[in-house]
Amino acid sequence: MLDKIRKGSDSLLVRVLLAIIAFSFVGGGAAVFMGGNSQGDVISFSDTKSISMEDFQAARTREIDALQRQNGINLTDENIEELGINSSILRKLINDSMIKYLARYYDFDISDEKIIDFVKMTPFFKDKNGEFDRAAFKAAFNSPRKEEEYLASIHKHLVTSTLVEVFMSSFNPPKIMTENMVDYMAETRIVDLLSINLGSKPAGYKAPNLSDEQLEDFYKKNQDQFVVPELRSFDYIKVDRKFLSKKLKISAKELRKYFNENKEEFSSKHYAKVKKEVKELVSKAKLDELSSELVKNLEEDASGGFTLKEIAKKYALKVKNVRGKSFDELSSGKVKDHAELVDNIFEMSEGEVSSPIERSDNNEILMVALNSIAAQRQQEFVEVRKEIKKFLLKRELAFANVKKLEAIQKTYSPKKINRKKLKSNSITTLVNKSLTRADLPLEKKLPANLLKGIFGAQKNTVTALVGDGKKVYFAYVKKVTRSNAKAKKIRKTSSSHFADTIKEGLFNELIVFMTKKNKMKITGASEE
């Protein structure tokens, strides 16, 4: 429970996302229209199609699903607000609308042949010989509709990238602009870096005596941190592609028939050359059929009153047992199956068997039976007394170490440094450390806020104290200079990137201008 006190309620991944994602929004905030309405237009334009609430909600759902899936997290409404997702989605939709407007204004489009060529050049759809693999392409989609959506997204990408390239290639930034960016990135700081481990016990340190009254007082003030969440125990079964493949039977006659009926898809190639590809396509179709048939049978078994163990025995499936897990544990992403099942599990009643849960992307089927529910409960003081004491002692030691480093920070002078004395006080010193702005993304050992402080401090001054949960640091800036060697390297490797960045900034200004020309307005959404 004390992890909540140490780390706060937000997950580490969410905080990392908050640190690296910065979104902007022109012309007001997304909160204007997020009042529960679901109809009408969010944004209106004078000369192009408006952005509907339906479009916004669909894009928002896709973005949130992608973030959660990629990072193995569940975003709360608060997380979504902190990440600025609503404003980000709106900004993207506005940009898309303006690019479509420009494409239409200049009568600009991409042919179907160009789209096909682009798809064929995509590495994901190539075989080991570097040739386009139609089977791999077909296997990537579950339905013709998804294939059409993918091709539509490629069309949009090509229109956007080509249009942007046309506009950007017409402007070459002056050399002085790129050189200013080179100088900025080549800025180098020479610092003395001091740190102390929060858990170190220096000679002579005496831990405070904590009375039961103090421990119980802490417990009373933080009772909400000592709550065991609702726990659920369940069994589940899983049908995977391997299981289905064992039941797969394909005759040579079926393969030949498929080839004859779909010859146009194989660019007039001889059957012998595409036999493997044909087999993969037929196998996928058969697997989809088997999966659909099995889902139907499992559904009938569940509605017919079969227990999960009876169903598992019928189909020779292994029953997996999970005991006493909270919603957060199951949705953490550590076990993919658990994350897939968590919403169902926490909507079920004891003894209930779920309907089949399909993962159509890889022909998997899950079924779960909820065995028991342990209600959320408040922990008693006696249960957590030792844990509280351990935490408070650790916190007192950390406070003592912070105060010790703070005292050094207030009077630090490179000329009066006594490294031996500092070491005896568990303080680590690194003298004349060189840091270049261009290398900061590669600096993984030091906290980001410390690096930011170093490059924001004046010469002959110290940064604020910065902690990372294990150590506390500060730095003394001794010298601010420019590394000629770094500048040469940056100029060679990044000048074109800087020029593109300047061009992108100019293009963004064009987008802003186009929104004004189109008299963009946040209209909100009408209530029913």
Q: What percentage of the chain carries pLDDT values higher than 90?
A: 39
Query: In this predicted model, which residue has the larger pLDDT, 218 or 13?
Result: 218
* Mean pLDDT within 131-148: 75
Query: Is pLDDT at 229 greater than 90 in this prediction?
Result: yes
* Mean pLDDT within 200-209: 85
Report for 152-166, 266-280, 451-465, 481-495: range of highest mean pLDDT: 451-465
Q: Which helix (H) or strand (E) holds 181?
A: helix 175-185
Q: What percentage of the chain carries pLDDT values higher than 70?
A: 90
- The DSSP letter of residue 132 is B
* Mean pLDDT within 46-63: 88
Is residue 165 within 8 A of residue 157, CB to CB? The reply is no
Domain 1-170+514-522 has CATH 1.10.4030: yes
* CA dihedral for 381, 385, 387, 389, sign (positive or negative): positive
CA–CA distance, 277 with 519 (Å, rounded to integer): 52
* Mean pLDDT within 283-306: 89
Query: In this predicted model, which residue has the larger pLDDT, 113 or 308?
Result: 308
CA–CA distance, 420 with 428 (Å, rounded to integer): 10
Least confident span in 68-77, 225-234, 279-288, 460-469: 68-77
* Mean pLDDT within 347-357: 94
pLDDT of residue 3: 44
Nearest to 401 by CA among 210, 214, 205, 215: 205
Q: What are the E-state strand segments in 439-520?
A: 461-462, 466-467, 471-482
Question: Which contacts (CB < 8 Å, 24+ apart) does range 506-515 have?
Answer: 506/168, 506/171, 507/164, 507/167, 507/168, 510/167, 511/94, 511/95, 511/98, 511/99, 512/26, 514/98, 514/101, 514/102, 515/26, 515/27, 515/45, 515/94, 515/98
Is residue 451 within 8 A of residue 435, CB to CB? The reply is yes
pLDDT of residue 143: 63
Report for 11-20, 40-49, 298-307: range of highest mean pLDDT: 298-307
pLDDT of residue 524: 57
Query: Is pLDDT at 26 greater than 60 in this prediction?
Result: no
CA–CA distance, 448 with 458 (Å, rounded to integer): 18
Torsion of CA 427, 430, 435, 440, to 10 degrees: -40
Is residue 156 within 8 A of residue 378, CB to CB? The reply is no
Tokens, residue 53: 């609430």
Confidence of residue 188 (pLDDT cuts 50, 70, 90): very high
pLDDT of residue 95: 84
CA distances from 323 to 73, 219, 342, 402, 515 (A): 21, 28, 13, 42, 55
pLDDT of residue 157: 82
The values of phi and psi at residue 468, to 5°, are -125, 15
* Mean pLDDT within 446-452: 94
Q: What are the E-state strand segments in 198-293?
A: 227-228, 231-239
Confidence of residue 142 (pLDDT cuts 50, 70, 90): low
pTM, 2 dp: 0.57
pLDDT of residue 1: 42
Sequence-separated (6 or more) residues with CB below 8 Å from residue 251: none
CA–CA distance, 180 with 173 (Å, rounded to integer): 12
Query: Is pLDDT at 31 greater than 80 in this prediction?
Result: no
Is residue 63 within 8 A of residue 119, CB to CB? The reply is no
* Mean pLDDT within 361-365: 77
CATH architecture of 186-220+383-483: Roll (3.10)
Query: Is pLDDT at 297 greater than 60 in this prediction?
Result: yes
Query: Is pLDDT at 244 greater than 90 in this prediction?
Result: no
- 461-516 confidence digits (pLDDT tens): 999 999 999 999 999 999 999 989 889 988 888 888 888 788 778 778 888 888 88
pLDDT of residue 341: 93
Nearest to 230 by CA among 350, 123, 144, 143: 350
CA-based max dimension of the chain: 89
- The DSSP letter of residue 234 is E
For the sheet with 357-359, list strands across it: 320-325, 231-239, 364-374, 357-359
* Mean pLDDT within 324-351: 93
Residue carrying the six token digits 């075989």: 127
pLDDT of residue 82: 84
